[in-house]
Structure 1
Amino acid sequence: MDFQRAQEILNSSDTYEVFYQGKLVWIKGLNPDDNTADVEILGEKIHTKVPVNELVEGGSFY
């Protein structure tokens, strides 16, 4: 995923599926200086920093 799309998802009122290494994550914040995202791995309650380009968008929920 590119940084701009991650920012659109973060700022959207809609909910989107986003995956990191096959795990569903919630984007909590973005860091433009190093092109990373602060995410929570859902179901595991793990917060971590990952490269935005390793995030994969799934579907959307309305």
Structure 2
Amino acid sequence: MNIGRAIEIMNAADIVDVSYQGEKIIIQNVDEKTKKARIYTKAKPDYELEVDVYQLIEEI
């Protein structure tokens, strides 16, 4: 995924399905400088990760 799309999804009013390593996630924050996203899984909302945006997959 690219930075622009990650930011759009993060700010979207509608739910957009995104996954990271096969798990559905929520994008909490995107850092344009480092190209990293702060995410958490729907299954474990207390477990946050910082990952490269390009590793996120939008499920269509």
Q: What TM-score comes out, normalization by structure 1 length?
A: 0.88
**Identical aligned residues as a percent:** 29
Runs ≥4 residues deviating over 6 A? none
CA RMSD of aligned residues (A): 0.9
Give the match for residue 58 of structure 2: 57
Give the match for residue 38 of structure 2: 38
Give the match for residue 48 of structure 1: 49
More strand by share: 1
Q: What is the DSSP-based 3-state SS (H/G/I as helix, E as strand, rest coil) of the residue aligned with 1:8? A: helix
Q: How many residues align?
A: 59
Unpaired runs of 5+ residues, structure 2, are none
